[in-house]
Structure 1
Amino acid sequence: MTISRRSLFAATGAAAVTIGSATQAQAQAQQPEVEAEASRRLFRKSLDFAVAKLRATAPAITSFPQETKFEKWTFADDGGWVGGFWPGSLWLAYLDSRDEQFRKWAVESALRLSPRRTDTSTHDIGFLFYPSWVTGYRLTGDVSWRDGAVEAAGSLIQRYNPKGRFIRAWGKLGTPDSDGRVIIDCMMNLDLLTFATQQTGDSKYLDVAVAHAETTRQFFLRPDGSTPHVYDFDPATGAPIGPNTNQGYSPTSCWSRGQAWGIYGFTTMYRRTKKAEFLDTAKRLSDFALKALTPDQIPIWDYRSPLAPNDVKDSSAGVIMACGLIDLAKVTGRYSYHAAALRILDAICRTCLTTESERSDAVLARATRNRRAETGIEVSFPYGDYYLMEALLRVLKPREIAQAVGL
Structure 2
Amino acid sequence: MCKNPEKEQHFTIKDLDVNIDFAVKQSILMGDLLADSTNIFPRTADENGNLLTIGGYWWTTGFFPGSLWLLYAETKDENLKTLADKLSSELAPLQFSTDNHDIGWIINSSFGNSYRINENRHDADVILQTAKSLITRYSSTVGSIRSWDKSDRSEKNGWDFIVNIDNMMNLELLTTAYRISSDAVFLQIAIEHADKTLKNHFRSDNSSYHVVDYDTLTGEARKKQTVQGYADDSSWARGQAWGLYGFTMMYRETGKQRYLDQAKLIAEFIVNHPRLPNDKIPYWDFDAPDIPNANKDASAAAIICSALIELSQYVDNRLSAKYMSVAKQQLKSLSSPAYQAKLGENACFILKHSVGAFPANSEVDVPLIYADYYYVEAMIRLKNIYLRNLK
Task: Indicate whether the TM-score tops 0.5.
Answer: yes
| Residue 355 of structure 1: how far off its partner (Å) | 1.9
Q: Deviations over 1:74-109 (max 9, x none)?
A: 111123111110110111221222111111110110
Q: Paired residue for 1:260?
A: 241
Q: For structure 1, which runs of at least 5 residues remain unmatched after alignment?
A: 1-29, 402-407
Output the CA distance in 1 between the equivalents of 2:118 and 2:339.
32
What one-letter code is carried by the residue in structure 2 that aligns with 1:342? Answer: K
Q: Paired residue for 2:302?
A: 319
Q: Deviations over 1:258-286 (max 9, x none)?
A: 10111011011011112111111101111
How does 1:228-247 map onto structure 2 within 5 Å? 228-247=209-228
Q: Paired residue for 2:372?
A: 385
Q: Paired residue for 2:18?
A: 45
Q: For structure 2, which runs of at least 5 residues remain unmatched after alignment?
A: none
1:360 is aligned, of 340, 347, 354, to 347
| Residue 32 of structure 1: how far off its partner (Å) | 9.8
Q: Paired residue for 1:109?
A: 87
The 1:134–1:399 alpha-carbon spacing in structure 2 relative to 1, beyond 3 Å, is farther
Q: Paired residue for 1:59?
A: 32
How does 1:4-403 map onto structure 2 within 5 Å? 34=7, 36=9, 39-61=12-34, 63-69=40-46, 70-171=48-149, 179-292=160-273, 293-333=276-316, 334-350=320-336, 351-355=338-342, 358=345, 360-398=347-385
Aligned length: 371
| Residue 59 of structure 1: how far off its partner (Å) | 3.0
Output the CA distance in 1 between the equivalents of 2:68 and 2:358.
29
Q: 8 Å contact 2:10–2:328 — kept in the other structure? A: no
The 1:126–1:360 alpha-carbon spacing in structure 2 relative to 1, beyond 3 Å, is same
What one-letter code is carried by the residue in structure 1 that aligns with 2:245? Answer: Y
Output the CA distance in 2 between the equivalents of 1:274 and 1:314.
31
Q: Deviations over 1:264-322 (max 9, x none)?
A: 11011011112111111101111111122111211100011112233101001001001
Rg comparison, structure with higher value: 1
- Among all aligned residue pairs of Structure 1 and Structure 2, give the percentage whose two residues are the same amino acid: 34
| Residue 356 of structure 1: how far off its partner (Å) | 7.2
Q: Deviations over 1:224-263 (max 9, x none)?
A: 1111111111123212112101101111001111101110
What one-letter code is carried by the residue in structure 2 that aligns with 1:65? Answer: P
Q: Deviations over 1:41-76 (max 9, x none)?
A: 333222211110111221342511122113332111
Output the CA distance in 1 between the equivalents of 2:277 and 2:11.
22
**Larger relative contact order, structure 1 or 2 (CA cutoff 8 Å, min sep 6):** 2
Output the CA distance in 2 between the equivalents of 1:320 and 1:146.
26
Output the CA distance in 2 between the equivalents of 1:359 and 1:159.
37
| Residue 358 of structure 1: how far off its partner (Å) | 3.5
Structure-1-length-normalised TM-score = 0.86
| Residue 179 of structure 1: how far off its partner (Å) | 4.5
What one-letter code is carried by the residue in structure 1 that aligns with 2:14? Answer: R
Output the CA distance in 2 between the equivalents of 1:220 and 1:41.
40
